[in-house]
């Protein structure tokens, strides 16, 4: 073996040793509305780790209490304290403690805080393990009836109306199915702007309160759905799926 390869192997062994000496960071997906939608693996991880990191303490405590998981050493990580909290949590990991990161619902890091923590964990050679589970994204796509061979996850458009409309205009010729998410109180403004930009050219599907008792799937044009939701005043968690031009009838 060449000297270069020996050096590289030694460096690799050191990195692996550092990983083994540190704890493990688990990214644990939790239910998005129905408590039955949790995996056995997620429950086992939450029971066994040393530290559970909540997004919001109240939601996290309610979750553990529901599954009968005893109170643990807890930390809070949210959009307001992410940088400072990440530094503190990394110290737990470096001390060999196992840590589970959960969000208020769904998969942590995805449209939720946690990216800073994961990046710091990777930089510190801490092992990061994803524990998959409930998601609103794939159920909404599959129930839409639109082509999902290719799709664009746009996520959260701008909360400012003028900027949001400008963003939507850039998507006017998008051939792929488009996925939008937003806060419950911005559904009607989003539909209003979709109607203004796309008119009746695109079909739209709204997956509303997925997995919950009042789960509903709405279909129509953006204008039709805007009028319906504006009249009914419905508010809840949602995913908006917009048909791409490539599948337009």
Average pLDDT, the chain: 90
Q: What average pLDDT does range 31-35 have in this prediction?
A: 96
CB burial of residue 95 (10 Å; 0-12, 13-18, 19+)? exposed
- Report the first-to-last Cα separation within the chain, whole angstroms: 62
Average pLDDT over residues 19-37: 89
pLDDT for 98? 97
Between CA 65 and CA 85 the distance in angstroms is 23
Average pLDDT over residues 6-15: 39
| pLDDT over threshold 50, residue 211 | yes
Q: 62: closest CA among 31, 28, 107?
A: 31
**173 near 245, Cβ under 8 Å?**
yes
What is the chain's Cα-based Rg? 22
Q: pLDDT above 90 covers what percent of the chain?
A: 84
Residue spans in the chain of domains classed CATH 3.40.1010.10? 3-131
Q: Is the pLDDT of residue 16 over 50?
A: no
Enumerate the CATH 3.30.950.10 domain ranges in the chain, comma separated.
137-247
Closest by CA position to 138, among listed 37, 41, 50, 26: 37
CA distance 69 to 144: 36
The confidence score (pLDDT) of residue 21 equals 63
Query: What is the average pLDDT across 201-222?
Result: 96
What is the structure's pLDDT at 1?
A: 52
Q: How confident is the model at residue 94 (pLDDT cuts 50, 70, 90)?
A: very high
What is the model's pLDDT at position 5?
Answer: 44
Question: Which CATH code is given to the segment(s) 3-131?
Answer: 3.40.1010.10
> Averaged over 159-179, what is the pLDDT?
96
Mean pLDDT calculated for residue range 41-64: 95
Question: In this structure, are residues 101 and 119 in contact, taking their beta carbons and an 8 Å threshold?
Answer: no
Per-residue pLDDT band for 12 (boundaries 50, 70, 90) equals very low
**Higher local confidence (pLDDT), 233 or 247:** 233
Q: What percent of the chain has pLDDT over 70?
A: 90
Q: Is the pLDDT of residue 19 over 50?
A: no
Q: Given this model, what pLDDT does residue 13 score?
A: 38
pLDDT at 248: 53
CB 202 within 8 A of CB 225: no
3 state SS for the chain = CCHHHHHHHHHHHHHHHHHHHCCEEEEECECCCCCCCCCHHHHHHHHHCCEEEECCHHHHHHHHHHCCCCCCEEEECCCCCHHHHHHHHHHHHHCCCCEEECCCCECCCCCCCCHHHHHHHHHCCCEEEEECCCCCHHHHHHHHCCCCCCEEEEECCCCCHHHHHHHHHHCCCCCCEEEEECCHHHHHHHHHHHHHHHCCCCEEEEEECCCCCCCEEEEEEHHHHHHHHHHHCCCCCEEEEECCHHHCC
Least confident segment among 74-78, 185-189, 202-206, 218-222: 74-78
pTM: 0.85
Q: What's the CA gap between 43 and 50, in Å, rounded? A: 14
pLDDT of residue 54: 95
SS3 sequence of 149-195: CCEEEEECCCCCHHHHHHHHHHCCCCCCEEEEECCHHHHHHHHHHHH
Q: Is a pLDDT exceeding 60 seen at residue 106? A: yes
In the block, tokens 């990191």 appear at: 53
Q: Looking at the domain covering 137-247, what would its CATH class be?
A: alpha beta
> Residue 247: pLDDT band by 50, 70, 90 thresholds?
low
More confident residue, 15 or 185: 185
């Amino acid at each position: 073996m060449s000297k270069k390869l020996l050096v590289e192997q030694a460096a690799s062994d050191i990195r692996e040793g550092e990983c083994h000496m540190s704890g493990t960071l688990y990214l644990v997906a939790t239910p998005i509305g129905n408590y039955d939608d949790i995996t056995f693996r997620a429950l086992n991880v939450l029971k066994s780790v040393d530290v559970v990191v909540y997004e919001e303490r109240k939601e996290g405590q309610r979750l553990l209490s529901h599954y009968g998981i005893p109170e643990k050493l807890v930390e809070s990580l949210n959009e307001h304290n992410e940088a400072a909290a990440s530094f503190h949590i990394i110290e737990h990991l470096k001390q060999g403690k196992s840590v589970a990161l959960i969000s208020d619902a769904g998969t942590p890091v995805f449209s939720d805080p946690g990216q800073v923590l994961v990046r710091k964990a990777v930089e510190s050679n801490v092992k990061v393990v994803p524990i998959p589970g409930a998601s609103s994204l794939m159920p909404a796509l599959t129930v839409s009836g639109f082509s999902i061979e290719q799709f664009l996850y746009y996520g959260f458009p701008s909360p400012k109306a003028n900027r949001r409309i400008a963003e939507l205009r850039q998507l006017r010729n998008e051939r792929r199915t488009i996925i939008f998410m937003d806060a419950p109180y911005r559904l009607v403004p989003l539909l209003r702007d979709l109607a203004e930009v796309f008119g009746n050219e695109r079909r739209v599907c709204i997956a509303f309160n997925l997995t919950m008792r009042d789960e509903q799937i709405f279909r129509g044009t953006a204008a039709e759905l805007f009028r319906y939701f504006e009249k009914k005043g419905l508010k809840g968690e949602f995913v908006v799926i917009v048909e791409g031009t490539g599948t337009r009838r």
